Each structure stands twice: as structure tokens, then as C-alpha cells.
Amino acid sequence: MKNRVDDMYESLRAQIEENFLLICEEIQKIYSNEYQKIWMEIASKLTELFLATVTLQQNKKKGEIKYIYIQYLHSSLNTGKWGYRIEVFDEKFYLSKEEICVYYYPEFLYQLWEKDLMLWNQKLRPMYPRIQEYEMEKIKTEYIEYYNLICRTLFKDLAILILNLSAWKQVKREKKVTILFGGYMEKGIIIHSNEIDM
């Protein structure tokens, strides 16, 4: 049985999907204009991650890297600044005793995100008086999936560049490295996987 929050989201679904197409066009323009800045921010974070990995490997605390996992953080919605945890794993994956990660916050998307939320709020209020904060939180949780799709595409486009960073070439890694994208502590989707020249 549907509850009020489900009804609220369903009432917006068609507008959300239509709006998302326009948002994608706007994001493409931003990405084209600010590509170098966006890439440098991501490259800086990954360089930090890879160099820290090298240090752990030198100290025999990390094996050959098999996965790079980009994980969206469900909890970060509560802070109003959602982001991604980027982590490297050897064959032990989550069983590894040594965690190593960095966090990336796609600030170039925040303004559009806030604008969208204001729009949905305005659309809903005439139909659903006295909207509670927890109700909007559930709508945010549903809607963020559209932005996660954008970021998944972004990282997929950047995969070759990521694997060509000089810091990555210092990392001891398996011949086949897979880049995953998904929710934190969830099963990820493969966005890039190939045989890497050692």
C-alpha cells in the first residue's frame, strides 16, 4: 500500500524525468567549460589515494590492487553535501584490515541540485500541505539516483585517464584491474575493466 511520500514522488515522476533531460544538457555545458578544473580535482584526490596505497604496499600492509571502487554515500545527503568515497582493494576486498580511501564532492553539481530541490518543493506544497522534513529527505534519496547516474557516466569517461595517472603506475596491481561504481558497502557496477600494461 502506497504511503504519502510514495504518492508525492509519483506525482513528480514525469516532471523529474523531463527536467532531468534538460539538466543533462546543462551539465554537459558545465562539464565542457570546466573540464580541466573538474579533472584536476579528481586527479588530485586519486593521486593522494594511490600514493598512500604505495606506502602501505611498501610496508607489506596492502596486496596487489584489483579494484578501484567509487561509492556514493547515502548518509551524506543528511549533511546537504553528498559525495563519493573512492577506495582501492586487493583480492581481500572488504575483508582487508587496512582501509584506504579519499572523498570526492562534485561541487560543480551542487547548484543544480539545490535548484532542483527548490523546484520540487514548490511543486509539491500546493498539493501536499505541511510537508515534513523527513518526507523531503525520502524524495532526495530517490532523486539523487539521477545525479549518481551522471557521476557514474563521468567516472566511466575518465577511466582511461585515471589509469594513466603517474601515481597509479607506482601502485603494485594485478594485471586485470576493475573500476566499480555503486553504493557504499553495496555491490558495485563495473564501469571499466581491462588488461593493464605493467
- Do 69 and 185 contact (CB within 8 A), yes or no? no
d(CA 128, CA 60): 58
Residue 61 has φ and ψ, to the nearest 5°, of: -105, 0
To the nearest whole number, what is the mean pLDDT of the chain? 89
- Do 148 and 186 contact (CB within 8 A), yes or no? no
Quick one: cell of 74? 547515502
By CB atoms closer than 10 A (0-12, 13-18, 19+), residue 148 is middle
| Predicted confidence (pLDDT) per residue in 96-138, tens digit | 678 899 999 998 898 888 889 889 888 888 888 888 888 888 8
- Do 89 and 96 contact (CB within 8 A), yes or no? yes
Residue 168 has φ and ψ, to the nearest 5°, of: -65, -35
What is the per-residue pLDDT for 136? 84
Is 198's pLDDT higher than 50?
A: no
Q: Calculate ∠ Cα 165-72-63, nearest 5°.
A: 50
Query: What's the pTM value of the predicted model, to 2 decimals?
Result: 0.88
Tell me the angle at which helices 133-162 and 4-33 cross, rounded to the nearest 10 degrees.
30
| Predicted confidence (pLDDT) per residue in 146-179, tens digit | 999 999 999 999 999 999 999 999 999 999 999 9
